[in-house]
Amino acid sequence: RAFLQRLWQGNVSSRMLSPRLQRAMKDYLGANRHGVRFRGRRAAGRSRAQLLCALRRRVRVRTLDGSEAPFAALGWRHLVPRVPLGRLHPRGLRSCAVVMSAGAILNSSLGEEIDSHDAVLRFNSAPTRGYEKDVGNKTTVRIINSQILTNPNHHFIDSSLYKDVILVAWDPAPYSANLNLWYRKPDYNLFTPYVQHRQRNPNQPFYILHPKFIWQLWDFIQENTKEKIQPNPPSSGFIGILLMMSMCSEVHVYEYIPSVRQTELCHYHELYYDAACTLGAYHPLLYEKLLVQRLNTGAQGDLRRKGKVVLPGLQAVRC
Ligand code: C5P
């Protein structure tokens, strides 16, 4: 509970994590699986306005458009949706919700509030059926990692979770964002199921995030963090928050920074316990959360009781 109090105030470090999580973080630093080389400079103590301005200047949501090698030669220009993700809602969305899959959202009764937003973003295989009271039932966008597309247990082809929504997929690419290397050796091969899905469902908006966007987010987290962060992509949660900040005027994020309901239950829809789901091991999740805490414009009471953070859209940010 003391840790949680400090997290709400943005006053924690990795040294307060369990020895197991600290060990895992160290191992990832040593392994550097994606060849990360941070060339930026640390910017200590930026204010909220400065952070928002830096985000607006530096981070561009980008998806594969088929214009670069190797995708151009593979005919992807005609495979990707005709309307780019950024132009699906040309006048922008007003108020948006990002619903994290954390176990802490159970018994929150946030469903009605979540559904009152103009658009709702959910992650991976997080269901709404049976959990409506706590998580709502509207889904506008679903962000999926490459394991969802490749692991048969998720039934990507026929599950209703992945129908009638905007799909945005991603996979950890090399830090160099060399697309040829990535295409030859993705973490999980999302390219084959993507092509297949596009051919069978040409009218469903379905995008793959460009590795440059993912690693821009990583650079931004490292730049604004004193400690050395794990050299792995940010979590889907952080990616989703930034995606919505670029499409909406206001973003309400639920159970990313945990409420008083904090629990080691990893997901609300699965009986599996691991503190790493909330605090991170592979992903630099603790640092992502500290950064989002600094950006929060919502009330402290909403953070504690609802696990809610309110963030401004990037379009309205003045630099
Ligand atoms: O586990 P999964 O990636 O599907 O969850 C979606 C996102 O929700 C994560 O990427 C993470 O940012 C967030 N999350 C969290 N705490 C949890 C579970 C998920 O912050 N216990």
Cβ of 7 below 6 Å from ligand 1: no
Percent above pLDDT 70 for the chain: 100
User: Judging by beta carbons within 10 Å of its beta carbon (0-12, 13-18, 19+), is residue 310 exposed, middle or buried?
Assistant: middle
Q: Is the CB of 128 under 6 A from ligand 1?
A: no
Place of tokens 């802490």: 104
3-class SS of residue 37: coil
The one-letter amino acid at 160: S
Closest to 141 measured CA to CA, from 199, 88, 179: 88
Is any ligand 1 atom within 6 A of the Cβ of residue 63?
no
Interface confidence (ipTM) of the complex: 0.99
User: Residue 31 carries which side chain, given as an amino acid letter?
Assistant: A
For the CA of 265, the nearest atom of ligand 1 = 21
| Nearest in space to 62 (alpha carbons), one of 80, 42, 79, 44 | 80
CA of 309 to the centre of ligand 1 (A): 15
Q: What is the pLDDT of residue 1?
A: 78
Please report the pLDDT score of residue 270 as a whole number.
97
| Residue 101 three-state SS | coil
Cβ(100) to ligand 1 under 6 A?
A: yes
At 39-70, the pLDDT tens digits run 999 998 999 999 999 999 999 999 999 999 99
Q: Whose CA is nearest to atom 8 of ligand 1?
A: 100
In a mutational test of the pocket of ligand 1, which residue from 7, 101, 144, 154 has the highest number of ligand atoms less than 8 Å from its CB?
101
Closest-CA residue to 297 (of 318, 278, 319, 313): 313
Token pair 């905007």 in the structure block, residue: 166
319 C-alpha to center of ligand 1: Å?
Answer: 31
Number of neighbouring beta carbons within 10 Å of residue 135: 30
Cα gap 295→245, rounded to integer Å:
11
Q: Is the CB of 287 under 6 A from ligand 1?
A: no
Ligand 1 lined by 291 (C-beta under 6 Å) = no
Q: How far apart are the first and last CA of the chain?
A: 38
pLDDT digits (tens, 9 = 90+) for 188-227: 999 999 999 999 999 999 999 999 999 999 999 999 999 9
Beta bridge partners of 36: none
> Domain limits of the chain?
2-87+94-312
- Say if ligand 1 is within 6 A of residue 280 CB: no
For residue 92, pLDDT over 90 is answered with no
Pocket test for ligand 1, best of 168, 277, 303 (most atoms within 8 A of CB): 277
CB count in 10 Å sphere of residue 37: 8
Question: Beta partners for 122?
Answer: 142
pLDDT band at 91 (very low <50, low <70, confident <90, very high): confident
Phi, psi dihedrals of residue 198, rounded to the nearest 5°: -65, -40
User: CATH assignment of 2-87+94-312?
Assistant: 3.90.1480.20
Question: Residue 97 in 3-state DSSP?
Answer: strand
Closest CA to 52 of 286, 224, 214, 168: 224
Both tokens of residue 178?
């060399």
Q: Is 173 in the pocket of ligand 1 (CB under 6 A)?
A: no
Q: What is the number of alpha carbons within 13 Å of residue 314 lying toward its C-beta?
A: 20
Summarised one tens digit per residue, pLDDT across range 18-45 is: 999 999 999 999 999 999 999 999 998 9
Q: Please, are residues 210 and 64 in contact by the beta-carbon 8 Å criterion?
A: yes
Report the distance separating Cα 121 and Cα 127, nearest Å. 12
The CA angle 271-18-225, to the nearest 5 degrees, is 105
Ligand 1 within 6 A of CB of 236: yes
Helix (H, G, I), strand (E, B) or coil at 103: helix
> Ligand 1: which of 106, 209, 235, 291 to mutate, judged by most atoms within 8 Å of the beta carbon?
235
Torsion 291-241-176-184 (CA) sign? positive
- The pLDDT of 69-91, averaged and rounded, is 96
**Averaged confidence pLDDT in the chain:** 97
What's the rounded Cα separation, in Å, for the pair 301 and 125? Answer: 30
Atom of ligand 1 minimally distant from the CA of 256: 20
Tell me, using a 6 A CB cutoff, whether residue 259 lines ligand 1.
Answer: no
